Chains A and B, each alone.
Chain A
Amino acid sequence: QKEVEQDPGPLSVPEGAIVSLNCTYSNSAFQYFMWYRQYSRKGPELLMYTYSSGNKEDGRFTAQVDKSSKYISLFIRDSQPSDSATYLCAMRGYNFNKFYFGSGTKLNVKP
């Protein structure tokens, strides 16, 4: 079993829709949870990170962490065609520095 599981998609939504992206994980030692956006042929770009449980909002993006369920989510409100990319979740523990990534979910927002 992989440390981090993520549905690869692709996920196709109309412009303006609310998008929900999710990851599950198995290691209860994970404390930092990140979301990266990766456009085609580009490097991953950090969108948001959250420490421990709870919610974090930044503009149209909201990250949620539920450590009891080992489940994290990224919500995108009022999705735009420019949001079309692959979204990667990543996580690490407090006492170790290795980041574990999901395989990425490809999102397509149709105009």
Chain B
Amino acid sequence: GAGVSQSPRYKVTKRGQDVALRCDPISGHVSLYWYRQALGQGPEFLTYFNYEAQQDKSGLPNDRFSAERPEGSISTLTIQRTEQRDSAMYRCASSLARGGREAEAFFGQGTRLTVV
């Protein structure tokens, strides 16, 4: 596609429910990142994939958070047993990650998650 696509754009869920957030990166981009952004703050790293391999998950807050990218393209971030503190904007970014373009990461519009 033309850009990074995330769905849904908005998600309201009840505390204790599981949610799955989807990211469709730019075609051909091998690197995929998940970030979380609080209002008035910069994005905070959650996890990183190189192709289908999850190479860094050091930013995932706890074991309720998981992510996968089984075929090296679309990725899903899953939050189990959601809590109100999980409410935030979740952003996905992708990067070509080679040819001198390692630093060019492009962000999607994000998914606004609200846990009530």
- Identify the A interface with B (CB < 8 A): 4, 6, 8, 32-34, 36, 42-46, 49, 51, 88, 90, 92, 96-104
- Identify the B interface with A (CB < 8 A): 4, 31, 33, 35, 40-45, 48, 50, 55-56, 58-59, 91, 93, 97, 100, 102-110
Q: Is the CB of B110 within 8 A of A43?
A: yes
Q: Is the CB of A6 within 8 A of B42?
A: yes
The A/B interface has a contact count, at CB < 8 Å, of 66
Q: Is the CB of B109 within 8 A of A90?
A: no
Q: How far is the CB of B61 from chain A (nearest CB, A)?
A: 15
Q: Is the CB of B42 within 8 A of A43?
A: no
Q: Is the CB of B43 within 8 A of A98?
A: no
| A6: B residues at CB distance < 8 A | 42
